[in-house]
Amino acid sequence: MLTTFRYCARQRHGCKMAIINLPREDFEKYIKLTDEIKEKIFMFGVSLENVTDESIELDVTPDRPDLLSFHGFMRAFLAFLGKKPGLKSYVVKDGGKSYEVVVDKSVTGVRPYTACAIVRGLKFDEAKIKEIIDVQEKLHETYGRKRKKVAIGIYPLEKIKLPIRFEARRPEDICFVPLDFDRELNGIEILQRHPTGREYAHLLEGMKKFPVFVDSKGEILSMPPIINSELTGKITEKTRDVFIECSGFDFRVVSKALNMLVTVLADMGGTIYSMKLRYPDKTRVTPELMPEKVKLDKTNVERLLGIKLSETQMKKLLARMGHGYEKGYVLVPAWRVDVMHEVDLIEDIAIAYGYDNFEPEVPAIATTAKASAMEEFKSKIAELLVGLGMLEIMSYTLTTKKAQYANMLADENMARPIEVLEPRTELSILRENLLHLACKTLGDNVNAEYPQRIFELGKVFSHDEDGKSETGVREEERLAVALAPGNFTEAKQVLEYLARMLDIKLKFRPAKHESFIEGRVASVLLDGTQIGYVGELHPAVLRNWHIKMPAAAFEISIEEIFEKKFCKN
């Protein structure tokens, strides 16, 4: 019987799903596509979108980027079916002295991390080349957040000379023929003239130096996260050995991307070789394919799922999701990025057990479902703003110090962030406001159609100075609105309209706020109590988020409004 709420990792990631096409002939070399197998694909957590004589189209959730290739999906699905259960191991051979990448200190403020490997003994054909290009692009779009978090380069090893150097140069000092181009361009010209350069130019906007990978002959391999060299960056059916690099801003993230790629290539028949990465302050070796050990409490499994399981049963269910198990610890594959907490493993157990096998149970409490008054109030606000042509966004409750403070011109030294203990991603603190996340959304959509009018309703978090909370954390419901292009008057008009519709009276008083232009910002007052700010975003804030339009915004506490005006009714 399943009596508890199921935590879903897919909701946590929040980005769009990815479509992959598996060759049906290759799929049916392993499994015949019967109606039963179609149902199993659905129970595995993947949507079967379309089936033809040639292909099987699947919709993969963003929490499982390791499934974005034929070989990656088949590895996981065969384990789920019980045909090849358990943790799959891969041999990583020592690359030797020349298998080295020197990471120069010049990339520190540009694109500071890389993870690299070499895979030898491949036998590419047209289908395999298509698969590796497809998985590279899908990782860019999903896990890599359109190359912002991770950029991937794959190169034929026979065309480059080891060791490799990862450094940053002035754009005018970067000259090479970019992929699918017929002449040499410098760094700025690539961003202006090459189609891929124009598409991703915003990722290098404002930088005085651009990152490059260079071999020992001085040949430029690529300018990440934009494009590879035409000379050294294209694999063909003649390619047997490849050099792979992943670059970004978080070593764990780029390492995971590398792990996903090298295991796919190993499943194609290649042999993985490690590389030494010589950073200015330390030496790392990648890829790191040792599984991660995560503690799993049997009591928590049974409590959350509402079923009794022996340790042997738990081990078998985990094996069907590709995990190993040893003495209370789960061995999580190095290519899985969705396991951040014990609860994610419990979800995997539930998937392997089968949601159709849980028996529903009616709670022994007589209740009548009804939306909370606050949720009804929030729905009313959302309806009013949607009526103004605005789009609602939903962002993570976790954020980064850079996003919350530095990008918004706030003094981090004066802040008291609520930090996550042992964070598994770059998101390491609870959000204190919604304004910086609205700015992030505008920055992430600079190439989308304008005007952009967005809002978010959600909780923010602060230290509970009054000691009323058991956790020591105070939660507050807020509303943030951002308009691009927009000015103070337009933002104030939206706020005044909202006040009229909610039958409240707001007053505005000139104020100062680090994120807004001085003289174009006001505090928002309700019955003499300050509930927020409205104003035009400071040009430095716009630059930090790469927002190309003037923008205005406001953020107010709707909890204050609710408590003062609606709890009395």
pLDDT in tens, 422-454: 777 788 999 999 999 999 999 999 888 999 999
The whole-angstrom separation of Cα 151 and Cα 254 is 8
Give, in order, the Cα–Cα distances in Å from 280 to each of 215, 223, 249: 18, 21, 16
User: H/E/C letters for each residue in 454-499?
Assistant: EEEEEEEEEECCCCCCCCCEEEEEEEEEEEECCCHHHHHHHHHHHH
Q: What topology does CATH give the domain 373-566?
A: BirA Bifunctional Protein; domain 2 (3.30.930)
For the segment 405-417, the average pLDDT, to the nearest whole number, is 91
The whole-angstrom separation of Cα 158 and Cα 161 is 8
**pLDDT surpasses 60 at 12:** no
Helix (H, G, I), strand (E, B) or coil at 271: strand
Output the pLDDT for position 347.
Answer: 96
pLDDT in tens, 148-200: 999 999 999 999 999 999 999 999 999 999 999 989 999 999 999 999 999 99
pLDDT in tens, 219-262: 999 999 999 999 998 899 999 999 999 999 999 999 999 999 99
Contacting residues for 563 by C-beta, under 8 A, at least 6 apart:
none
CB 95 within 8 A of CB 275: yes
The whole-angstrom separation of Cα 286 and Cα 290 is 11
**pLDDT surpasses 60 at 395:** yes
The reply to whether domains 9-89+291-357 and 92-286 share a CATH topology is no
The whole-angstrom separation of Cα 325 and Cα 311 is 10
**Degrees, nearest 5: CA angle 55-58-59:** 155
pLDDT band of 363, cuts 50, 70, 90: confident
Of 118-132, 364-378, 416-430, the one with minimum mean pLDDT is 364-378
The whole-angstrom separation of Cα 18 and Cα 62 is 7
Give 369: exposed, middle or buried? Use CB within 10 Å, 0-12, 13-18, 19+. exposed
Helix (H, G, I), strand (E, B) or coil at 300: helix
Helices (H), 81-125: none
Extents of the domains making up the chain: 9-89+291-357, 92-286, 373-566
**pLDDT surpasses 90 at 458:** yes
**pLDDT surpasses 60 at 16:** no
Q: What strand order describes the sheet that includes 329-332? A: 292-295, 329-332, 324-326
Output the pLDDT for position 304.
Answer: 93
pLDDT in tens, 296-353: 999 999 999 999 999 999 999 999 999 999 989 999 999 999 998 899 999 999 999 9
Question: Element (H or E) spanning 335, and its range?
Answer: none
**pLDDT surpasses 60 at 11:** no
The whole-angstrom separation of Cα 405 and Cα 384 is 31
CATH of region 9-89+291-357: 3.30.56.10
The whole-angstrom separation of Cα 207 and Cα 76 is 41
CATH of region 92-286: 3.50.40.10
What is the DSSP secondary-structure string of 197-259?
HHHHGGGGTT-SSEEEEEETTS-EEEETTTEEBTTTS---TT---EEEEEEES-HHHHHHHHH
Output the pLDDT for position 464.
Answer: 84
pLDDT in tens, 475-494: 999 999 999 999 999 999 99
Of 88-97, 209-218, 363-372, the one with minimum mean pLDDT is 363-372
**Degrees, nearest 5: CA angle 533-534-536:** 130
Average pLDDT, the chain: 92
**pLDDT surpasses 80 at 362:** no
**pLDDT surpasses 60 at 527:** yes
